[in-house]
Structure 1
Amino acid sequence: MFLSLRVMCYTMILNICSSTDTDFFAATAELEYLLDTRARTIDDLDIYIDNEEKKLSVVKKLHTLYREGHEKAKEDIVNYSENPINAFIIIKQLTIDLCHLRDIIKTGTELINQITTNRDDVNYPTLQDVKGASQALIRLQKLYKLDVQQLARGNLNGFENGISMTASDLYTLGHVLYNAWDFYNARNWFIEAFRKYDKEDIPYKFDKRNIFEDIVASCYLGNRKNATQWIKRIFVSKLKMNETMKIVVSYLRKNIRSKGKQDLLDISELTEDNKKLLMPSDAQLRDKLFAAICRGESNSSIKMDGRLKCRYLSENHSFLKIAPIKMELIHLNPDIVLCYDVIGDEEIKTLQQMARPILKRTPVRGRYGESRISDFRISKAAEFNDTTSETIARISRCVSHMTGLSVETAEPLQIINYGIGGHFRQHYDCIVQPNCTKNCPVRIATVLFYMSDVAQGGATVFIKLGLTVRPVKRAALFWHNLLPSGELDPSTMHGACPVLQGSKWVSNKWIGQSGQELIKPCSLEDQKRVDTHT
């Protein structure tokens, strides 16, 4: 009905799209590779500008955007790469904007083809990365209720990155929401694009009329009353409307003449069955609760218990007699423990160096044990067995000392880097499904090592407990996933909040139930929980 992301010269970007799926958006650690790509692009543009003076009016403006962003990045590469706004901009600059540049200079020299074609010595993102970065930024905006105007100015919840979004950036984000049928939020991004359009004076693949149409369309499909003010602006501006927009405007003018709340649904007129259809599902309620806890808005009240304490753990292994572990019991029933300084900076550096070259998108498991890639989890991971290196083996020994459990049947150590707005929605670590036919590990316990601090976001939250645990570098979080009866403990549902600012590195060790029979024997009382602090 309405133009959906208006092609935006996507058909011109086949060279970029044909490359191997890199998923740069899924791990912040890999975004630094794109700085080299952008640096090469800047050099190529310098040469091109020297040779093609007649075509500089547009090229210079894009060149300026690239250079300003890159100079800003060089001031602090780490913080620059960890900012989701910067990540979105650099990915879009190296895909859609490069395509636009190529379209403008069709009669250019061979150099322009080199700029927009993949090279062996640099990495180019794909349109999948544009989509992933866009969705990540939108996810952060919606979950943390960030102001769109502030994001457009480069202000990420108080963090100023100095780079404002262009009208094209905002228009792209609006269409990502529009295509996802989120018309209310799409309208906000389109409005910001409209405000920026006249100030920039850059010839894009869209014009002011297109933005008008998309704003009205978003209002029409979302809340029709909001469309009236934009219809008036269309008539005042005397912009030429296409036939589809004329039909929409005619309909709105006839049906939305200050009729108050006529578009609102009258619940009293619905049947009981239809009312049930309008009620949010359990999954939607969990999503809302997850978002609220991540924002710090949870209404769950955790009663202070005198048994919650900090102490030195020294009893699980003789080694702990001379090197006790600092531990804090942060929740009772189920017991959740945070152990401090259990992994060193050099070990963290080693693990990151081992993982970086082989990071791959982290899959999720379905109810039958099948593995698949999903937006449910945005991160990349690498796995290592104990025999890989002494560092990995030493960490496994630490897990055994810390938990008092055997790691003989534990899964490989998984090292994870979360991507732009990286998250892992609420889930259980243990799969206890009678229909599960393959890859169905029964994980009695989880140990989660925090390998970095995170400036904003990235907390581990237990949604049924209302508990939030913020990453503390060098610390490890430990809990049991099963009741002593061997059944799943439903209170251990947890998730990783989206990373708002920073880079989140973690590693986890899932401990199998097998081999623990004599260490943690099953109890006949299903509801009796594991006592990990005595």
Structure 2
Amino acid sequence: MLSFEFTCLMCFCMWMSLFSRSEAEVFTAISDVEPLIETHQRIINDVNEYIAAEETRLSTLKKRLKLYKEEHEMAMADIPNYLANPINAFTLIKRLTKDLEKIRQLSQIGTENSNIIAKTHEDLKYPVLEDLTGAAEALTRLQETYELNVQDLSEGLLNGVVYSKPMSAGDCFEIGKALYEVQDYTNSLAWMTEALRKYSEKDELSDYRVIDYMEYIALSHYYLGDTKSALHWTERIVELDPEYQHGPGNIKLYQKIIAEKEAKELNGEVVEKQTPKSPVFDDEYEKELQIYKVLCRGELQVPGVISRRLKCRYLTENHPFLKLAPIKMEYLYLQPDVIVFHDVMSDDEIDFIKATAQPRFQRAGTKSGENGAPAPSKYRIGKVAWLEDRESPVIARVSQRVADMTGLSMVTAEDLQVVNYGIGGYYVAHYDFSTKQDFIEYDPNGDRIATVLFYMSDVAQGGATVFPKLGLSVFPEKGAAAFWLNLHPSGEGDLATRHAACPVLRGSKWVSNKWIHERSQEFLKPCTLEYQEEGILRKLPKPIPTSHR
């Protein structure tokens, strides 16, 4: 007969093998989070079977199951809307990582039925701890960009509207812990403080002690340079637990730092404030970052001298078919011109492109890998796939439509890139053309002369495309496409086209883009010595006002 220790060891190995086989990066695309609903349902079935076999086993399991069922019912009522809330998406990932680990540990205590829950479902998707960390960082990104209050977020509030059930103390603790481990002490402190506010010793579902919360609060204060607060919290921990291992050493260290600082102040010495290590950014970057956040919130308007000249019109040039089916064309900015073409992708086309792209999704990257190859980056959270014209008449038709809209040739254009942004998904400010810093190898087709960005979903909150140097925000509109030229007529990159994708606060953002290259445009848009020009489509007549923006 197997010993209890051997049985526990076997169960532990089964659990570890589950996480070693799982692929990370679920958090980088909302479309990848949706399959977790099925995983969630299967886990519920496992727990039900386990409790049926062990009716007297640990009432905590039943309470956890009740909580999960309530959340699952909410999700099943409207899965896309449920997962569109980043708080719900984070909670789901936590349930299937940290909470599932706890359930399996409980099931292994003195029961021969632990294999019911310890088993691995090979046909299901499981998140891993990297996904939990990514989701925690995403919530912080949303908090900072959209000026959200941590307490509101923990109560399920997004901009004053209740979208989800309140988070538990344990949920907040896991966010704070994940942020602490990536050295984001400011936000870790805020979430740990909120976790402590929610903490109750009577909560049987709590996996942590009160001193666990206090320890992270004390250490965060220390790394933020607030040694007195760190000392205060450490002393409180020692009062609650005199056997606290790190208490005496930390208290002695904090007292020494405080005494040395006070001695220097008495001697009139200038005391440098202790600050946490952080990336060094120049003033230009910080200025752009602040403008970016304001634009993401939609708080900045295009200057009146520009907005008064913006017009809408019907595009009937470029192709005879447009005489019968003109395209609605709206100018959002002038010099450089940024245009939105409305209703240029149908729902059927969007559904086909999504379905075709999703099985091929890979994590989005930037050209920072070896030889300029795309490498995963925290500066772009999403998943991408590439679709070729020859694959389907639908893809070819979209490319032809781009040619009709822009009057440019698609002969050297890149394949259609499809992107689904994840929890808090975003892309930092960048240029679509090659700069001297990232131009690694000459492209025989020339640089990217223009960009067409299709919006394949509406986004409830957030997700705008913003141009920091222009003060322009373009919010997603399903079926529409944004268009701008990346290069001046001389072939030099237009620095004013620097743009970024804002974090998705609520919803799932799907886009696809077509990058058009210089080669094959020689007779359509010839290169000149001019550095700038008036009007994005020189071959077209001036806009005819049909309605003001």
Q: TM-score, normalising length from structure 1?
A: 0.89
Q: Is the 8 A contact 2:88 2:164 kept in 1?
A: no
| 1:261-300 correspondence to structure 2 within 5 Å | 280=282, 282-298=284-300
Distance 1:312 1:108, change over 3 A: farther
1:137 aligns with one of 124, 139, 142 = 139
Q: CA deviation at 1:66?
A: 1.3
Give the partner amino acid of 1:444: I
Secondary structure class of the residue paired with 1:130: helix
Q: Are 2:500 and 1:495 equivalent residues in the alignment? A: yes
Q: TM-score, normalising length from structure 2?
A: 0.86
Other-structure match for 2:319: 317
Q: Are 2:456 and 1:419 equivalent residues in the alignment? A: no
Other-structure match for 2:345: 343
2:392 aligns with one of 382, 389, 392 = 389
Distance 1:47 1:387, change over 3 A: same
Distance 1:426 1:160, change over 3 A: same
Q: How far does the alpha carbon of each residue in 1:368-394 deviate from its partner, in whole angstroms, 9 at most, with x for none?
A: 633111111111122111111111011
Give the partner amino acid of 2:458: D
1:446 aligns with one of 427, 432, 451 = 451
Distance 1:219 1:31, change over 3 A: same
Give the partner amino acid of 1:490: L
Q: Distance in 2 between matches of 1:48 and 1:281?
A: 58
| 1:202-351 correspondence to structure 2 within 5 Å | 202=204, 204-224=206-226, 225-227=228-230, 230=233, 233-234=236-237, 238-240=240-242, 242-252=244-254, 280=282, 282-298=284-300, 301=303, 303-351=305-353
Q: How far does the alpha carbon of each residue in 1:90-132 deviate from its partner, in whole angstroms, 9 at most, with x for none?
A: 1111111111122223236565445344312221112221122
Structure 1 residues without counterparts, runs of 5 or longer: 1-8, 271-276
Q: CA deviation at 1:234?
A: 4.2
2:77 aligns with one of 75, 78, 95 = 75
- 421-430 or 104-113, which deviates more: 104-113
Q: Is the 8 A contact 1:326 1:339 kept in 2?
A: yes
Q: Distance in 1 between matches of 2:422 and 2:79?
A: 16
Other-structure match for 1:32: 34
Q: Distance in 2 between matches of 1:470 and 1:435?
A: 28
Q: Is the 8 A contact 1:432 1:442 kept in 2?
A: no
1:436 aligns with one of 417, 436, 439 = 439
Other-structure match for 1:122: 124
Other-structure match for 1:352: 354
How much is the aligned-residue C-alpha RMSD, in angstroms? 2.9
Other-structure match for 1:479: 484
Q: CA deviation at 1:155?
A: 1.6
- 367-376 or 350-359, which deviates more: 367-376
Q: CA deviation at 1:204?
A: 4.7
Q: Is the 8 A contact 1:447 1:477 kept in 2?
A: yes
Q: Are 2:432 and 1:458 equivalent residues in the alignment? A: no
Q: Is the 8 A contact 1:423 1:499 kept in 2?
A: yes
1:516 aligns with one of 512, 521, 536 = 521
Q: May I ask how many residue pairs the two structures share in their alignment?
A: 515
Q: Which runs of 4+ in 1 moved over 6 A?
A: 9-12, 266-270
Other-structure match for 2:3: none
1:104 aligns with one of 103, 106, 113 = 106
Distance 1:163 1:329, change over 3 A: same
Q: Distance in 2 between matches of 1:46 and 1:287?
A: 49
Q: CA deviation at 1:365?
A: 1.7
Other-structure match for 2:91: 89
1:375 aligns with one of 351, 354, 378 = 378
Q: Distance in 1 between matches of 2:533 and 2:56?
A: 79
Q: Distance in 1 between matches of 2:133 and 2:240?
A: 34
Other-structure match for 2:512: 507
Secondary structure class of the residue paired with 1:400: helix
Q: CA deviation at 1:427?
A: 0.7
Q: Distance in 1 between matches of 2:440 and 2:235?
A: 60
Q: CA deviation at 1:29?
A: 1.4
Give the partner amino acid of 1:337: I
Give the partner amino acid of 2:409: S
- 287-296 or 465-474, which deviates more: 287-296
Give the partner amino acid of 2:171: D
Q: How far does the alpha carbon of each residue in 1:409-442 deviate from its partner, in whole angstroms, 9 at most, with x for none?
A: 1111111111111111111111143873448562
Q: Distance in 1 between matches of 2:391 and 2:33?
A: 27
Q: Are 2:412 and 1:409 equivalent residues in the alignment? A: yes
Q: Distance in 2 between matches of 1:435 and 1:251?
A: 46
Secondary structure class of the residue paired with 2:140: helix
Distance 1:243 1:48, change over 3 A: closer
Q: Distance in 1 between matches of 2:320 and 2:509?
A: 33
Q: Distance in 2 between matches of 1:94 and 1:430?
A: 41
Q: Is the 8 A contact 2:464 2:502 kept in 1?
A: yes
Other-structure match for 1:5: none
Q: Are 2:495 and 1:469 equivalent residues in the alignment? A: no
Distance 1:305 1:267, change over 3 A: farther
Distance 1:239 1:280, change over 3 A: farther
- 357-366 or 37-46, which deviates more: 357-366
Give the partner amino acid of 1:525: E
2:177 aligns with one of 175, 178, 189 = 175
Other-structure match for 1:273: none
Distance 1:481 1:117, change over 3 A: farther
Other-structure match for 2:197: 195
Q: CA deviation at 1:160?
A: 1.9
Quick one: percent identity of the two aligned structures? 43
Give the partner amino acid of 2:373: E
Q: CA deviation at 1:197?
A: 2.1
Other-structure match for 2:544: none
Distance 1:108 1:382, change over 3 A: farther
Q: Is the 8 A contact 2:485 2:536 kept in 1?
A: no
Q: CA deviation at 1:316?
A: 1.5
Q: CA deviation at 1:288?
A: 3.1
Secondary structure class of the residue paired with 1:54: coil
Q: CA deviation at 1:216?
A: 1.3
